[in-house]
A and B are shown apart, each in its own frame.
Chain A
């Protein structure tokens, strides 16, 4: 199932990724090459085959819910592009009206 440039644009919106027109065109061809390979999977009969999600058959791991020290707020905020009063600062989200 080949991708159109319009679909790539839609996917880029979903992925929060701004693409230039040249990038969109180039990437469409490259992704279609991968999908052409992927379409070979349709030839296999996978009826009744369970999906393999992890490298090992692991189960959920539980532990007692104990309180342990965590990293200091200042340490975490040290990597923030913009921090203020102990918070991450972002552009305005809510508009006035």
Chain B
């Protein structure tokens, strides 16, 4: 079979189960695919084919012995390079961590390892997850498989590109303000940011701790549910992981959404919205109405403030989280005769421009005389943004919006600075501020480029989000469109 790289995890699980293929054959097929596609896409910072083959061998032994295997056993994936993998370097796409080899696995990685997952490597991103295009990677930008002159989005851009290009079956990323959903939309795949606290953040390099959440990038909604099943849960190593019971996230797939009330926030249809993207959204409304849902406009009145609130809170949290990179315990060190000069020069050499900007902004707004006006004010307005969602979810089951105002943009077309980066997340960052789950699925194509639509739900409404996303995907057959790379 030479089309293995086009299949989903649940399809591959079926093939493995009836012994149509072995995990080793599957892994070899994807390693070959990577060798062909990687020169074009540049999704990987560190490929790990030897680890993948060793893990595949272990799964084959279990399959051979007739032991039952989990749905993701033997299915190859890769991780965004800010998710710690024991013994495999984890760079955050930064010179600061270019040689950092974590002594432990992130909890999400440990959970997948335990299910027999096969790791193909570590994926490119914007440095410390600060960016919307992978142009802020200290190493190289990744390319959008649909048009290699365009960005794959970011910050989980390598992850989205690898999944779309058939280099991996799925990937884990992280989403602080849209870093899973926007690249998923740009690359035509499914990206989920779970509720804050649904997935342990232990071992995920902290950027903005009150917003960061591990997310999934998959080819379809069923795979999204399967991966969420595998990684969710409270973790004693992450005190912000939520003490809730998680259901089987595949349970409601295929159930109808008749009578569901779906709101479209009118603030998400502003002047920044590209008419082509609006047309896809309008089509999505028709599809959902056809499925029996009632779609109506609603309002989240504080939306216009989510951009500055997000910029301020991320800056504050980045400046304190990244204080640990000082050249003493791990990461880069620039040798100097005295300690303070060593700190300053190490940080100057190790961090890229956007990371420095956020650190400076955060240090400024957390210092005396500015704290109340900026940081504390941002936290109060964050409450107002959360209350907007609480209000609207009294009347609506879910919200629908575009994922991004535009399709994937060209390299160099936009500034990679703080304001422009955050502007590109104008429809995604409020979900992080409010802590609610949100999913992006492919809504269709505009001039050959994928366009994502986003569903947002109440905290822990992932079953309903997946249910509606699945119904939408089935009705549009827009899932699993794969770009033709010519290889």
Q: Which residues of A contact B (CB under 8 A)?
A: 1, 3, 7-8, 11-12, 14-19, 23, 27, 30-31, 33-35, 37-38, 40-42, 44, 46, 49-56, 58, 60-61, 63, 71, 75-76, 78-82, 88, 90-93
Contacts and interface: CB of A to CB of B under 8 A. Distances in A.
Interface stretch (B67-75, B162-170, B373-381): B373-381
Interface in B254-292: none
B330 A49 contact: no
Given A34-B419, A41-B377, A46-B377, A82 B333 contact: yes
Contact of A93 (B196, B330, B335, B339): B339
B332 interface: yes
Interface string B338-369: 11101111011001010011011101110100
Given A55-B196, A56-B240, A7 B356 contact: no
Contacts of A93: 339
Given A16-B347, A91-B339, A11 B379 contact: no
Contact of A90 (B240, B304, B342, B373): B342
A19 B381 contact: no
B478 interface: no
B418 A34 contact: yes
Most buried by B among A3, A15, A31, A42: A15
Given A23-B356, A76-B103, A91-B338, A44 B305 contact: yes
Interface in B108-156: none
Interface stretch (B18-26, B33-41, B42-50, B321-329): B321-329
A51 B382 contact: yes
Given A17-B344, A17-B347, A30-B418, A63 B236 contact: yes
Contacts of B356: 17, 19, 23, 27
B364 A80 contact: no
Contact of A38 (B304, B367, B374): B374
Binding site secondary structure of chain B: helix
Interface string B2-36: 00000000000000000000000000000000000
Interface residues of B, number: 77
Contact of A16 (B197, B309, B330, B343): B343
Contacts, number: 178
Given A16-B326, A23-B356, A88-B328, 4 more contacts: A18-B348, A46-B384, A55-B213, A58-B242
A45 to B, nearest CB: 10
A55 B313 CA distance: 12
A41 B305 contact: yes
Nearest to B99: A79
A53 B311 contact: no
B364 A7 contact: yes
Contacts of A18: 344-345, 347-348
Contact of B383 (A33, A51, A81, A88): A51
A8 B364 CA distance: 8
A24 B424 CA distance: 25
4 tightest A-B CB contacts, nearest first: A55-B196, A55-B435, A51-B379, A81-B333
B333 A17 contact: no
A59 B305 CA distance: 27
28 contacts: A14-B367, A15-B319, A16-B323, A16-B347, A17-B347, A17-B348, A17-B359, A23-B356, A30-B419, A33-B419, A38-B365, A41-B308, A41-B374, A42-B377, A46-B380, A49-B383, A51-B376, A51-B382, A54-B210, A56-B195, A58-B240, A60-B239, A80-B328, A81-B333, A82-B333, A88-B328, A91-B338, A93-B339
A14 B328 contact: no
Nearest to B239: A61
B348 A19 contact: yes
Contact of B379 (A27, A33, A37, A52): A52
B383 A55 contact: no
A75 B312 CA distance: 36
Contacts of B309: 41
